[in-house]
Amino acid sequence: MKRHTRHVTADLAVIGTGIAGCAASIFARDLGLTVAQIGHSGAMAYTTGYIDLLGVLDGRVLDDPWSGLDALRSTDACHPLARMTNHDIRTAFDRFVRLLGEMGLGYTAPGDRNVSALLPYGTTKPTLSLPDTMLPGSDALHRRAPALIIDFEGLQGFSATEFCTNMASVWPGLRPARLVFPGLEARPVFPEVMARTLETPVAQEQLADLIQPLLNGAETIGLPAILGLQAPDRVRARLEQLTGATLFEIPTIPPGVPGIRLREAFERELPRRGVLLEPQNKVSEAILRSTGVDLTVQGALDDLRIEASAAVLASGRFLSGGLKSDRYRVKETVLNLPVRQPETRDGWFSAEYLDPAGYPVNKAGIEIDAAFRPLGPDGVPASDRLFAAGVVLAHQDWVRQRCGAGLAIATAYGAVQAAAGSINAR
């Protein structure tokens, strides 16, 4: 049996299907470029759903991410976010958040200040934008509004009692309650399953009926993030209508709904916007040419060959497979680009758990120039047609700095602008 190769040409190839890759595809389509995007799964599924920009700098929680970025530019000029102007970052961020809204996932417009977003363990996270389904929780915390927090039998790692207990000192008036999710009695339950079920009117009514008797005057209700997957705002509105209370979601331990929502929204939306999306496989071979980048993808039954005028590498870190290591070195997996990293393995991780400085390996990654072009072994750009974005970049610690989403969005914007420039300069 002959193994076929499909040949495709595109202005831009995007390697990676995380937030950076998806943002890059959208930004490129906005510029009228044809786009082929390749990747497979990855860390996007583990997000809380919060779209942060810069929440922590040098171990301090930032109230104002924008002045934080200013500070970053003077203290850590290699940080990928420091390579862009606040104006460009804001443009990218605004565009991305609006896009999510167009895809059915309403997000708050980014403002000038970070918001304290709720975490399931009764702690908070500084973020710039959050899903509309989660906003009322932050508001309620801000107002110290009494609220009923509901958890579910069989949903592990989310305890309303834990949330209320750990919040008690700053947010009194929280009350925990536990429900059995209709149809999922006496068994382990996944948020994804509850969310999927809650998209049906029947389940919405059943859940509202269970919540009603618990209200006891409560006007605000916190739930784990289970309010549907494709149209959470509609599900929330419907449940609010049925219960007469304000509802908000709190993210949960993976596998949680917010990440699956984002992933599915992009898988649904990108093809609609004309992106050739190959979400099943990673790039098996990438070749840099002077006029672009050739990529090969091995499918189950046939192969795909993409000839692109430029490429954005947004392949993520270890979880997404963009970086991998053996016992000695960290490597970049797609093009074997040099990875900036500590000298030896002993330097990868700090001696102490959660060292406030962050583990040195967190800042390992590929180096870029001002035009987001990855540097080759000789310190000059590996290609004029190759650009990089997202957490594969060196000099950032996205988890600790609470800047993962913002970094992905902003650098995707920067990389696509640069890539478009290189294509147009042909």
Partner 1 sequence: MTSLRETDVLIIGAGATGAGVMRDLALRGISSILIDRSDLNAGASGGNHGLLHSGGRYVSADTRTAAECHREADILKRIAPHCIDDCGGMFVAVEWDDETFARRFPDHCRDAGLPCKELSTDAARTREPALPGTVIAAYAVPDATIDPFALVLGHVDHAIHLGDSAYLPHTAVDVFEIANGVIEMAMCRDLRTGAETRIRARQVINAGGASTMDIAQRAGCSDVKLLYSKGTLLVSNTRISKGVINRLRVPGDGDILAPGGTVSLLGTSSVTVPRIEDNRPTVAEIDHILAEGTQMLPVLETTRFIRAFSGVRPLLAAPDAGGNARRASRRFLLFDHEDQGLKNFVTIAGGKLTTFRLMAEKTADLVAARLGNTAASTTSTTPLPQGDAIRWTEPGLAARDWYRRADPSDMIMCECEMVAQSAVDDITADAPGAESHMSLKAIAQRSRIGKGACQGAFCAMRVTSHLYDTGVYDSRGGLELMRAFLAERYRGVRPVLWGAQLPQAELAEILHCGLAGLDLMGSSTTGEPE
Partner 2 sequence: MLKKSAETATIDFLATARALLPEGASYDACVGCGLCASGCPASGMFGMDPRRFINMAMLGMNEELSTTPWVWACTQCKRCAYICPMGIDVSLLVGASRSNWAKEDKPKGIVRSCAAQMLDESTSAIGLRSEDFVEIVEETADELRQNDPRFAEIEVRIDKPGAKFIINQNSREPAVEPEEMAPIWKIFDYVGADWTYASKGWAAENFCMFSGDDEAWRDMVKTRVDAINDLGAEIWVNTECGHSFYTLWKGIDRFGLEANFEPASMVSLYAQWIREGKLPVNSDWNVDNLKFTVQDPCQLVRKSLGDTAADDLRFVVETLVGKDNFVDMQPCRSANYCCGGGGGFLQAGMSKERRAYGKRKFDQIVTTKADYVLTPCHNCHSQIDDIGAHYGGAYHVTHLWTLICISLGILGPDERKYLGPELAAIGLPDPQ
Return residues touching partner 1 (CB under 8 A): 43, 46, 48, 56, 59-61, 116, 119-125, 141-142, 154, 156-159, 161-162, 165-167, 169-171, 186-188, 251, 253-254, 317-319, 323-328, 330, 344-346, 348-349, 351-354, 356, 359, 361-362, 399-400, 402, 404
What DSSP string describes 43-80?
A: GGGG--S-B-S--EETTEE-S-HHHHHHHHHHH-TTSG
Look at residue 190 and give the partner it binds from partner 2, partner 1, none, a contact being a CB closer than 5 to 8 Å depending on partner kind.
partner 2
- CA angle 229/411/372 to nearest 5° reads 145
Q: Contact positions toward partner 2, by CB under 8 A?
A: 1-2, 4, 6, 40-43, 45-46, 183, 187-188, 190-193, 196-197, 199-200, 202-203, 229-230, 254-255, 260, 263-264, 267-268, 271, 277-281, 299-302, 319-321, 324
Cis omega (within 30 of 0) for bond into 255: yes
Q: In the bound complex, what is the minimum distance in angstroms from residue 206's beta carbon to partner 2? A: 13
- CA angle 420/424/426 to nearest 5° reads 125
Look at residue 385 and give the partner it binds from partner 2, partner 1, none, a contact being a CB closer than 5 to 8 Å depending on partner kind.
none
**C-beta of 71 vs 242, nearer to partner 1:** 71
264 closest CA partner among 419, 397, 103, 146: 103
92 closest CA partner among 22, 39, 11: 22
**C-beta of 93 vs 158, nearer to partner 1:** 158
| Count helices and strands in the chain by DSSP H and E runs | 11, 17
Q: In the bound complex, what is the minimum distance in angstroms from residue 22's beta carbon to partner 2? A: 14
Look at residue 425 and give the partner it binds from partner 1, partner 2, none, a contact being a CB closer than 5 to 8 Å depending on partner kind.
none
**C-beta of 297 vs 407, nearer to partner 2:** 297
40 closest CA partner among 330, 418, 299: 299
Q: In the bound complex, what is the minimum distance in angstroms from residue 51's beta carbon to partner 1? A: 13
**C-beta of 65 vs 256, nearer to partner 2:** 256
**C-beta of 271 vs 347, nearer to partner 2:** 271
Look at residue 161 and give the partner it binds from partner 1, partner 2, none, a contact being a CB closer than 5 to 8 Å depending on partner kind.
partner 1
**C-beta of 290 vs 344, nearer to partner 1:** 344
327-331 long-range Cβ contacts below 8 angstroms, 24+ apart: 330/361, 330/364
Sign of CA dihedral 342, 346, 349, 355: negative
What DSSP string describes 207-229?
A: HHHHHHHHHTT--EEEEES-S-S
Look at residue 166 and give the partner it binds from partner 1, partner 2, none, a contact being a CB closer than 5 to 8 Å depending on partner kind.
partner 1
- Residue 366 contacts residue 338 (beta carbons within 8 Å): yes
